[in-house]
A and B are shown apart, each in its own frame.
Chain A
């Protein structure tokens, strides 16, 4: 019980986390990461229930853990408090936390679903009966999912890769790229191949992060264990996994162990073999990356590092590439979180707060008069784009443009 939170001892109550919490600064409904995390933890008892400590307001952006100088896993402690049995979750939460299921259904009926999602009547009904804010952006469904367009890239077992002499890497697409933005996945594969890598798609399921964020840990663990099982054979052959969605990658690198509590040889192997796209290419093929010649992309852009990317603890590797692109005038957002934090901002009871968290970022983007937003996380892109009316791209897309792969 208390052993796993040895670092609770570490909290000095210095309030550095509270000072940095984007949610606490915009709402007094949230007691603050210190109060909800290490402080409340001291009062946990197997027989007595902890009263309402407002943990549902935490967006899990992870900023508190990041800034804590004393190794207190504040965000992880709070995330664990959200765990609840399936029956206690609302239908809405049970559904929005399953993007793979939603995506599969939706792509079949994309031509119907897309206009429906954009209809204000449908959105009003969704808000009224389902608790999805009509103001929150929802993704556009792709007609052809990535797993269809790239189905030839799937490799079931590492035996198939034995004869490949090039550096091999498995691409984890995640639900969003698969069902909503398949072009990103295609670009990722093209770029990796152009850097001399052999790319394949390993068998994979949803990373489970939305389930975890909604407290449905048992279901999240099922998916986590499934991914671990599917990927381990490749990992044992020292084949790394790369992704373009920093949230999925963070789940592999960190959440499976630190929040879902899956601490096995395999989960550790996965954590050690997972990379963010830009982290990967800079580390594994630096010479090829240095040889890229970039065409001009004349634009003024604001790069917003997603909170999930900051959680990787690797800084902002995409910036290293973006800075090499001639003509690109870059601003860097120093806001810890844009507000949406995955499924958080989409919920009608959280929308106001999520909007308030991002408000200054939106205002800054508009004041700077930038042409577009760049961000690695899909939910950040949709959210910032919706609220600034500016286009938003994954850094990959800008890189691909500069490499002449797309226009």
Chain B
């Protein structure tokens, strides 16, 4: 069995895991990050897109709020290319509890979160689509953060600094000697081969799967799974992040993200990391919430719905009815202390906005364990992106026509303006071609037609570089996944899109035949 040896093994390449690896790399620690799947398949890739101002937690969770506020400015410094500075508005509607807005404003001020009251006039001039029945409005420092770009950039930066990111490898066993974890055995999701990685420290940052990973070492962690459902609307209705100024509840944030707008989210306790199915009632609920902030919202076209599982820290295991009241604070559990198993620590909880801070705490811990003096510098060192165009709205529309120094670059995904050169660059840098990963990297297929045209085009481009059978299987599974995200929205225009895509794939192209599926 092939094996590898390193100082730090991080399990989970979400924002937390990659953040830890990045921090450790900068301190000169040898790191390997592993993930059972591809980048952005976990919670970080199913994200709302919000760079918190901190306001949301000001009243209920001031520690989290403080952390969000300071991390907000740090992230703007270190990864500006993944952030669209939309600004944010907190709106209390006439039907919302009147005193909450005051309480909230005061709490923000105490924490040091910038809150600027706005008049109704100012708000409506800025965002004419909003409801007029706003009783109070405040401007905050929220923004739109693209997690795909973040994860890809982190991954790239880690590799550039000497770390390793090993994808499609799931930990299926820990090798424990003298109550110390010394190695992990991993199995490849792609070809089922196994390998071993030995390390001095193992960090379990597997998000919703953390309990499964912990179980491999025979330990339990106080984790609760909470499902959050989000809907992407086909078009932006505002260019600003809109928050509801009321006690934090479901469906109270609308975030512009790339060329779409995301409304979320729900908060439903679920039993496991894979419990993702969405009920029509969740969809209806979110659309109705949106309607309260933006009249006509529920008649606009929803593009797709998805859910992510939050891994929350819950020491009170018996409170399963609502996860809303649980702190979003993260927790680092050193299993040497809690369970007598050395060399393993688990980190979970938190939110994407504070990933760097969580990572810092873990990296401090790791440095201490390894007796390394280097301090964290992730708050100042920028996270470099790969050479490619970015997904922020303004950049999406560059170069639609050829210019003098730019030859024509075929537009493969017309909805999101993804070019052939981007796909070729992806192929160059990837041993393994996965349409869903291409989607996360370039936004291919994320527009109104949900990859009706571009999935086949991209596969066609990849055809000379990879095993064709694999590509065809990937194509059919990708378009089926796109289907599942839209089939919950089978009404109005979305229904027409679903019917169109299906007719295109099955009647005009005959895709069902090429992967051996029954027609």
Contact = CB atoms under 8 A, between A and B. Distances in A.
Question: Do these two chains really belong together in a complex?
Answer: yes
Interface residues of A, number: 28
Interface of B: 128-129, 234-237, 239, 259, 296, 299-301, 393-394, 396-401, 414-415, 417, 447-449, 452-453, 493, 496-497, 500
A13 B449 contact: yes
A43 B396 contact: yes
A393 B427 CA distance: 61
A52 B402 CA distance: 10
B414 A39 contact: yes
Contact of B493 (A2, A31, A39, A70): A70
Given A9-B300, A12-B497, A45-B394, 4 more contacts: A9-B493, A42-B447, A43-B397, A70-B493
Contact of B235 (A9, A48, A53, A54): A9
B414 A43 contact: no
B397 A40 contact: yes
A45 B235 contact: no
Closest CB pairs A-B (n = 6):
A9-B301, A48-B394, A13-B449, A43-B397, A42-B259, A12-B500
B235 A42 contact: yes
Contacts of B448: 9, 11-13, 42
With most chain A CB atoms within 10 A of its CB, the pick from B128, B129, B235, B500 is B235
Interface string A218-243: 00000000000000000000000000
B496 A6 contact: no
A387 to B, nearest CB: 29
A70 B496 CA distance: 9
A46 interface: yes
A10 B235 CA distance: 11
Contact of A54 (B236, B397, B401): B401
Q: Tell me what chain B mostly uses at the interface: helix, strand, loop, or mixed.
A: loop
A51 B400 contact: yes
Contacts of A10: 301, 493
Nearest to B295: A3
Contacts, number: 82
B393 A48 contact: yes
Given A3-B128, A10-B301, A70-B493, A31 B235 contact: no
A4 to B, nearest CB: 10
A50 B299 CA distance: 27
A248 B43 CA distance: 58
Contact of B300 (A1, A6, A48): A6
A68 to B, nearest CB: 12
A8 to B, nearest CB: 6
A143 to B, nearest CB: 47
Contacts of A54: 400-401
B470 to A, nearest CB: 28
A14 B414 CA distance: 12
Q: Tell me what chain A mostly uses at the interface: helix, strand, loop, or mixed.
A: loop
A1 B129 CA distance: 7
A35 interface: yes
A154 to B, nearest CB: 43
Contacts of A6: 296, 299-300
B345 to A, nearest CB: 44
A2 B401 contact: no
B132 to A, nearest CB: 13
Contact of B500 (A1, A14, A43, A51): A14
A6 B452 CA distance: 22
Given A1-B129, A9-B301, A35-B414, A45 B500 contact: no
B234 A2 contact: no
Contacts of A46: 239
B416 to A, nearest CB: 9
Contacts of B500: 12, 14
A39 B413 CA distance: 11
A43 B315 CA distance: 46
Contacts of A45: 239, 393-394
Interface in A21-72: 31, 34-35, 39-40, 42-43, 45-48, 50-54, 70
B397 A13 contact: no
A343 to B, nearest CB: 24
A3 B452 CA distance: 26
Contacts of B301: 9-10
A39 B416 CA distance: 9
Nearest to A54: B401
A209 B273 CA distance: 61
Contacts of A8: 234-235
Contacts of B417: 43
B129 A13 contact: no
15 contacts: A1-B128, A1-B129, A2-B236, A3-B237, A9-B234, A10-B493, A12-B448, A13-B453, A35-B414, A40-B397, A43-B396, A47-B239, A51-B401, A53-B400, A70-B493
A150 B2 CA distance: 98
B320 to A, nearest CB: 39
Given A12-B500, A13-B453, A70-B493, A39 B415 contact: yes
Nearest to A13: B449
A395 B510 CA distance: 49
A35 B259 CA distance: 15
A31 B396 CA distance: 16
A34 B400 CA distance: 13
B397 to A, nearest CB: 4
Contact of A50 (B239, B397, B399): B397
Interface string A346-376: 0000000000000000000000000000000
Nearest to A71: B493
